[in-house]
Amino acid sequence: MIRETLKGGKGEVIKNPKVFIDPISVFTEIPYREDIIKETAISIRYFVKNDVRFSNLFLGLTGTGKTFVVRYILNEIEEVKKEDEDYRNVIQAYVNCREVGGTPQAVLSVLAEKLTNDIVPKHGINLGEYIEKIKNAVEGKKAIVYLDEVDTLVKRRDGDIVLYQLLRADAEISVIMISNDINVRDYMEPRVLSSLGPSVIFKPYDAEQLKEILSKYAEYGLFRGTYNDEILAYIAAISAKEHGDARKAVNLLFRAAQLASGEGIIRKEHVDRAIVEYEQERLVEAIKSLPFHYKLALRASLDSEDVVTAHKIYVDLCNKLKQRPLSYRRFSDIISELDMFGIIKIKILNKGRAGGIRKYIEVPDREKIMKALDENLAEEIGYEY
């Protein structure tokens, strides 16, 4: 059995897994985003050839192609460097603000490291010194900086300073920012907004567009005859209901193809199994990506019926871990955000003048969340609940 699987062949569905894992290396165009790519390319050309700096803010929900477009542009610029001398002094740096920690120090240190190709301390130096390192690295060159999930940075203390310094730096730096939060501008100070260029909106894909995108992945990544239009339409329809998430659609197709390995064709039951697995994995990933105090707030919520009790448990947990607890007001805001993320549910009950308003907490997947959270906290800080 294992030998047949290792060798592949009979009943195999996936022709080229790289199509799903690293699509940028395969695709030479991105459907339904051509206009955005062209407009951005014009801005880049003016910057490189005419010294006209620019900044863009890519806005759109998850799976609408923002990061894909940025990665595609970054790669294309590297290719153009080989053909056009004007581009040879262009340096680029992509940073996912959430993945590096989201703090101004974390983002600037990684950015400086990528632009200087040198090790940069993550602590012990102030923000101004990071900016100076970046300016020195850019001297005589032109830099294009890509800040993904920039809302993570902007919502942190002094996050605005990073953007302001980059946008107003006395250096040839242009910036493309990416955010899933379409209201991210509300968190920016007027001085940052005045320096910021236009917002570029990535509209959600509809079912027909998703089906065409899936057909491209299937054409390049799957063997002919292992899928049909009905399967692609089924996946597209499911993903279109969730704000047109192309990433989800592609992941579902890939997982369904893996489940169909050895059977030679993807069926509806493979897709349905992939959906269940995807939702479970997404919940775990969402928990892992939460900031530290959000994790503590969530852990406290698992042992509470209401927000007041959860805050008391949270304070006790912070004291055990020698962390400064957040105020009740800030804690309540975090609980509301966890509700917005769909991880927990808040029900508000008004008991009148005597009882006041009480916020009750419901956790639909309590056991699953508890397991994922406890494992993550043990891994992150060595704490076992």
The DSSP code sequence of 287-334 is HHTS-HHHHHHHHHHHT-SBHHHHHHHHHHHHHHTT-PPPPHHHHHHH
Task: Give the residue numbers of the binding site for ATP.
Answer: 64-68, 205
Residues making up the chain, counted from first to last: 385
> In degrees to the nearest 10, what's the CA dihedral of 74, 78, 81, 84?
-50
Amino acid at 234: Y
Domain(s) labelled CATH 3.40.50.300 in the chain stretch across 31-202
For residue 270, pLDDT beyond 70: yes
In the chain, CATH 1.10.8.60 covers: 205-286
Confidence band, pLDDT 50/70/90 cuts, at residue 104: very high
DSSP 126-172: -HHHHHHHHHHHHTTSEEEEEEETHHHHHTSTTHHHHHHHHHH-SS-
CATH of domain 205-286: 1.10.8.60
pLDDT for the residue 94: 98
Alpha-carbon distance 205 to 249, whole Å?
11
Helix 292-302 / helix 328-341 crossing angle, nearest 10 deg: 80
pLDDT band at 187 (very low <50, low <70, confident <90, very high): confident
At the top level of CATH, the class of 290-381 is mainly alpha
For the annotated binding site, the residues are 64-68, 205
Pairing status of strand 357-362 against strand 345-350: antiparallel
pLDDT at 354 over 60: no
The CATH class, in words, for 31-202 is alpha beta
d(CA 311, CA 305): 11
Distance in angstroms (rounded) separating the CA atoms of residues 77 and 69: 12
pLDDT band at 122 (very low <50, low <70, confident <90, very high): confident
Phi, psi of 102 (to 5 degrees): 85, -15
Q: Does 385 have pLDDT greater than 80?
A: no
